């Protein structure tokens, strides 16, 4: 496992425990740093980012992150395959968790 992938999974696990107690400024910082990684050149990084994004959406709601929806649209409209694949991966993980929980937290 690559170190960036391991760090991402550690971030995901820590967010599960601490996200709701973090200040909005810290939450926003994390969200703003995740979005550019949707188009990362490394497939493993894109996949890990998609997993982290799904946790953030699960905990904070999709409406609490309007920039995510805009980033998805931008990535899907891109001609860059990395951006398109990253957006589809994140979207599929968000929808998978939503269907598993039988809800999408708004």
| DSSP per-residue letters across the chain | --HHHHHHHHHHHHHHHHGGGS-HHHHHHHHHHHGGGGG-SSHHHHHHHHHHHHHHHHHH-STT-HHHHHHHHHHHHSS-HHHHHHHHHHHHHHHHHHHHHTS---
Q: What is the pLDDT of residue 1?
A: 64
| Between 66 and 103, residue with greater pLDDT | 66
Domain ranges of the chain: 3-101
Using the predicted structure, report yes or no on whether residue 86 has a pLDDT greater than 90.
yes
Q: What is the pLDDT of residue 69?
A: 93
pLDDT band at 104 (very low <50, low <70, confident <90, very high): low
Q: What is the pLDDT of residue 34?
A: 96
Q: How much is the pTM? A: 0.89
């Amino acid at each position: 496992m690559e170190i960036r992938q391991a760090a991402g999974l550690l971030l995901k696990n820590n967010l599960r425990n601490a996200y709701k107690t973090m200040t909005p400024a810290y939450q926003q910082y994390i969200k703003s740093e995740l979005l550019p990684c949707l188009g990362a050149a490394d497939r493993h990084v894109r996949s890990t980012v998609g997993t982290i994004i799904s946790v953030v959406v699960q905990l904070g709601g999709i409406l609490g992150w309007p920039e995510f929806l805009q980033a998805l649209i931008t990535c899907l409209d891109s001609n860059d395959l990395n951006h398109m694949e990253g957006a589809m991966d994140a979207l599929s993980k968000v929808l998978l968790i939503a269907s598993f929980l039988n809800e999408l937290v708004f």
